[in-house]
C-alpha cells in the first residue's frame, strides 16, 4: 500500500481511540460527579442515555449531509466537536450554576463528535487501497477495544498518582488526542468509497434491497450480543469472585474488552487464512456457548466470569465482519450503507442490555435467566448468515 495511505489508516485507528475516549472516560467519573456536585445517580445514569441517543440521531442524520460536505470536512468537524466536548467537561460544571447542566452540555457535544466518527471512519478505511479489506476493517475496530482498555488503565493510573480531584486536567489531556488527529485528517489522502464512473445507491434503492435488511438485522444482533453481556460484566466479576468494585471493573469489563480486541486483532493479522463468513458463523456459535456458561447455575461462580471473557472474544468480529460483508455484497451502498448499519449496531447496543434487564426483572431479578433469554441475538445472527448465503447463491 502507498505510504501516504498508511498515514490515513493510522488516522482512522486513532479516530476509533477518540470514540473510545468519549464513550468510556466519563463513566469512570460518575461517583465523583455524585460526591462533588451532589448530582443524584438517576440523573447521572441519564448521561449514558443522552450519549448513545445523540449518537443514534447522528447516525441517522449523517445520511443527509456527509456525502455533500465530504469525508475530510466531516472528520475534521467530528474531531473538533469531540475535543470541545471534553474541554467543556472540565470547565462548564464550575462555570454554570447547575453543574449537571454543564456536564450534560459537554456530553451532548462529544456525543455528536463520537457519532459522526462512527459513521465516517469505517468508510474512509474501506476506501483506502489496503491489500485485504476484511483484515483492515477488523484491525480498525480492534483499536476501539484497545482505546477502551487504555482509557481505563491510564485514567486509573492518573487518579492514583495525582488524585481523583484532578480529573479536569485529565479531561483536557484526553482532548489533545482528537485535536492532534484533527490536524492529521486535514493532510492525509482520502479516497472515495465509490469507484470512478459509478454512483452510490439512493437511500430509497438501498432500503428496497433485501440484502441490506439482512445486514441490518445482523448489525442489531451484533450490538446486542456485545452489550447484553458487557454491561453486566462488572456485576459477574463482583458476584463470582467476591472482589471490590475496582477489581471487579478490571476483571469484568476490562477482560471483556481485551478479549474482544484480541479477536479483532487476530483476524486483522491472519484474516487471509480465515474465511470471513465462516469466522463470523463460528463466532455466533461461540457466543451461544458463552451465554450458556454465564447463565448456568453452578457451584463454580468464576465460570460466569470465564463465560464473559469468551463472549468478548466471540463478539469481536461480528460488527466489523458485518461491515465488510455488507461492503462487498452492496458495493454501491456508499456512506448511507455504513451510516444505517452503524445505526443498527447502536440500536442493538442500547436494546440488548435493556432486554436483559427487563427479562431479569420479570424473572425475579435473576440476571442469569436474563442472559439466557438473550441467546435469541446470536441465534438471529446465525440465521441471518444462513439467509445471506442462500440469497447470494440465487443472485
**The domain boundary residue, chosen from 154, 169, 193:** 193
- In this structure, the number of other CB atoms found within 10 A of the CB of residue 20 comes to 23
CB 335 within 8 A of CB 62: yes
Q: Say whether both 105 and 234 belong to one domain.
A: no
Measured distance CA(41)–CA(181) in Å, rounded = 34
What's the chain's length in residues? 395
Residues 235 and 360 in one domain: yes
Q: Which three cell numbers stand for residue 354?
A: 435493556
Per-residue model confidence as pLDDT tens digits over 42-59: 788 788 778 888 988 998
Residue 225 shares a structural domain with residue 159: no
pLDDT at 372 over 90: no
Q: Is the pLDDT of residue 174 over 60?
A: yes
Mean pLDDT over residues 359-375, rounded? 82
Q: Do both 203 and 343 map to the same domain?
A: yes
Is 325:215 a contact under the CB 8 Å cutoff? Answer: yes
Range among 14-18, 150-154, 159-163, 253-257 rated most confident: 14-18
The verdict on 299 and 244 lying in the same domain is: yes
What's the confidence (pLDDT) of residue 234? 64
Residue where a domain stops, chosen among 145, 175, 193: 193
Q: Long-range contacts: 241-248, Cβ < 8 Å, 24+?
A: 241/301, 241/302, 241/305, 242/301
Buried b vs exposed e over 346-373: b needs ≥16 C-beta within 10 Å?
A: bbbbbbbbebbbebbeeeeeebbbbbbb
Give the mean pLDDT of 244-250.
64
Give the tens place of pLDDT for each residue, 308-330: 889 999 999 998 889 889 988 88
Q: How far, in Å, CA of 341 to CA of 239, rounded?
A: 35
- Alpha-carbon dihedral sign for residues 300, 264, 219, 82: positive
Q: Which of 35-44, 229-238, 285-294 has the lowest average pLDDT?
A: 229-238
Position 388 pLDDT exceeds 90:
no
Residues 272 and 330 in one domain: yes
Alpha-carbon distance of 384 to 281, in angstroms, equals 10
Domain boundaries, position 262: 196-395
pLDDT at 219 over 60: yes
Residue with cell 472474544: 313
**pLDDT for res 232:** 67
Q: Are residues 169 and 210 in the same domain?
A: no
- The whole model's pTM is what? 0.84
Question: Is there a single domain that holds both residue 210 and residue 273?
Answer: yes
pLDDT (0 to 100) of residue 213: 93
How many domains are there within the chain? 2
Burial 47-74 (b: 16+ CB within 10 A, else e): bbeebbbbbbebbbbbbeebbeeebbeb
Do both 135 and 214 map to the same domain? no
Please say if the pLDDT value at position 276 is more than 70.
yes
- With vertex at residue 271, the alpha carbon angle to CA 270 and CA 275, rounded to the nearest 5 degrees, is 130
Average pLDDT of 21-31? Answer: 85
Same domain, 218 and 319: yes
Is pLDDT of 92 > 90?
Answer: yes
Is the same domain home to 239 and 129? Answer: no
Give me the half-sphere count of Cα atoms (radius 13 Å) on the Cβ side of residue 365: 0
Q: How much is the average pLDDT of 249-266?
A: 83
pLDDT tier for residue 390 given thresholds of 50, 70 and 90 = confident
| Residues 377 and 231 both lie in one domain | yes
pLDDT recorded at residue 47: 83
Q: Which of 158, 193, 228 is the C-terminal boundary of a domain?
A: 193
Domain of 3: which CATH number? 1.20.1250.20
Amino acid at each position: 500500500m502507498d505510504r501516504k495511505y498508511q498515514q490515513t489508516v493510522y488516522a482512522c485507528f486513532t479516530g476509533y481511540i477518540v470514540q473510545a475516549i468519549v464513550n468510556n472516560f466519563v463513566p469512570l467519573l460518575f461517583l465523583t460527579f455524585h460526591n462533588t456536585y451532589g448530582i443524584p445517580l438517576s440523573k447521572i445514569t441519564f448521561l449514558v442515555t443522552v450519549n448513545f441517543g445523540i449518537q443514534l440521531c447522528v447516525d441517522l442524520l449523517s445520511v443527509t449531509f456527509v456525502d455533500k460536505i465530504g469525508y475530510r470536512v466531516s472528520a475534521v468537524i467530528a474531531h473538533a466537536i469531540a475535543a470541545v466536548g471534553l474541554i467543556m467537561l472540565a470547565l462548564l460544571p464550575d462555570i454554570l450554576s447547575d453543574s449537571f447542566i454543564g456536564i450534560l452540555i459537554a456530553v451532548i457535544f462529544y456525543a455528536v463528535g463520537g457519532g459522526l466518527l462512527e459513521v465516517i471512519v469505517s468508510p474512509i478505511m474501506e476506501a483506502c487501497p489496503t491489500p485485504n479489506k476484511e483484515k483492515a476493517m477488523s484491525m480498525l475496530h480492534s483499536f476501539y477495544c484497545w482505546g477502551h482498555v487504555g482509557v481505563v488503565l491510564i485514567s486509573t493510573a492518573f487518579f492514583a498518582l495525582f488524585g481523583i480531584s484532578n480529573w479536569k486536567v485529565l479531561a483536557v489531556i484526553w482532548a489533545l488526542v482528537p485535536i492532534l488527529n484533527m490536524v492529521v485528517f486535514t493532510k492525509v489522502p482520502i479516497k472515495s468509497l465509490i469507484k470512478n464512473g459509478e454512483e452510490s445507491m439512493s437511500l430509497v434503492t438501498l432500503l428496497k434491497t433485501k440484502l441490506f435488511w439482512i445486514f441490518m438485522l445482523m448489525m442489531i444482533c451484533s450490538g446486542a450480543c456485545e452489550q447484553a453481556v458487557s454491561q453486566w460484566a462488572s456485576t459477574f466479576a463482583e458476584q463470582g469472585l467476591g472482589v471490590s468494585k475496582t477489581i471487579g471493573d478490571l476483571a469484568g469489563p476490562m477482560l471483556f474488552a481485551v478479549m474482544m480486541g484480541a479477536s479483532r486483532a487476530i483476524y486483522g493479522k491472519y484474516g487471509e487464512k480465515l474465511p470471513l463468513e465462516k469466522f463470523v458463523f463460528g463466532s455466533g456459535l461461540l457466543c451461544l456457548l458463552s451465554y450458556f456458561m454465564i447463565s448456568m447455575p453452578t457451584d463454580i461462580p468464576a465460570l460466569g466470569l470465564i463465560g464473559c471473557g469468551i463472549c468478548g472474544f466471540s463478539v469481536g468480529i461480528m460488527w466489523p465482519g458485518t461491515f465488510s460483508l455488507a461492503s462487498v455484497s452492496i458495493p454501491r451502498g456508499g456512506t448511507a450503507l455504513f451510516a444505517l448499519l452503524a445505526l443498527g449496531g447502536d440500536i442493538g447496543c442500547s436494546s440488548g442490555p435493556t432486554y436483559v434487564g427487563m427479562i431479569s426483572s420479570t424473572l425475579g431479578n435473576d440476571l442469569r435467566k436474563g442472559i439466557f433469554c438473550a441467546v435469541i441475538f446470536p441465534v438471529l445472527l446465525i440465521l441471518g448468515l444462513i439467509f445471506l448465503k442462500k440469497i447470494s447463491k440465487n443472485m
